[in-house]
Amino acid sequence: MSQAANVKSLSELRPEEARTIMELQSQYADDASMRKLSVHDWLRLSWCRSLDVKKASEVLTNHKFWIDKWNLNDIPIETIRENFKAGFSVVAGRDFDGRPMLWQRMQFMSPSQIPLAVGIKSTWLAMDAALADLESNRTGICLIYDFRNVGMNNISLNLFDVRDGSLSCGAGHPSHITRVIFLNPPMVFKLGFNAAKPLLPTAVTSLVSMINVNSHNQNSWYETLCPKTQLPEYLGGEQRGDYFSWLTRRLDGSRFLYHPTEIDNEGWKTPPE
């Protein structure tokens, strides 16, 4: 994935993007917390619901709710670094439509060992890293969950955790998600997802598709997804590197409503006075 290039000025944007940002800024002119947002933050908020001001405002309301509910500002970046050391997130490239792919290896995920709040904040930071350039906001993100080789310890059967995790990321974070893929999901996960579906907004569930890899397509299953070079290294692609380093490099200099301390290539900077 290319180096991040945050938008600095409305002049870099299309008229409809600039107009949406100005409408949102006007709507939140009296909200002191929103004055800290950069132009790129406003762009990400604008695109989270395809430049619909009303729907973007609803996402922002949800965003603030989840920040407070899970005390996300209190989770330090060091905790996020340790979380990613498990290896469930791997560097990937872009799909055929130019979407940045955020790739999860579910066999290394242990829900019982990861507090839900840490999982939510880790996912939010990853999505913000993927959206740290203009074109990615326009195309949206592709989320991919590879379930191959998973066991029961890799899957949460707590429907409330499934619901809260899905809502906080699909409806509670200002990100433009346009594709979600479950790769070789086991039957128990399908049953759990179907049970949780009524609890989730259509905006989340309508994006989901499933790809099954078997002996007949094991060398070609990705041909409707992305060029082989854009696959993670473990699948024979050319995308590699330390995930946390990728994340902090793309987020260098950023602050968020849920992480007010500036992020740099080392992961943090001293908070302002």
What is the CATH T-level fold of the domain 73-250, as seen in this structure?
A: Phosphatidylinositol Transfer Protein Sec14p (3.40.525)
To the nearest whole percent, how much of the chain has pLDDT over 70? 92
Q: What pLDDT shows up at residue 203? A: 75
Q: What pLDDT shows up at residue 159? A: 63
The residue ranges of the chain whose pLDDT is under 70 are 1-3, 154-160, 266-273
Q: What pLDDT shows up at residue 273? A: 40
Q: What pLDDT shows up at residue 271? A: 47
Whole-angstrom distance, CA of residue 52 vs CA of residue 59 = 11
Query: Which among 173, 165, 174, 221 is positioned nearest to 193, based on CA atoms?
Result: 165
Question: pLDDT tens digit string along 41-74?
Answer: 999 999 999 999 999 999 999 999 999 999 999 9
187: exposed, middle or buried (C-beta count within 10 Å: 0-12, 13-18, 19+)?
A: exposed
**pTM value?**
0.92
Listed by start position, the domains of the chain span: 10-69, 73-250
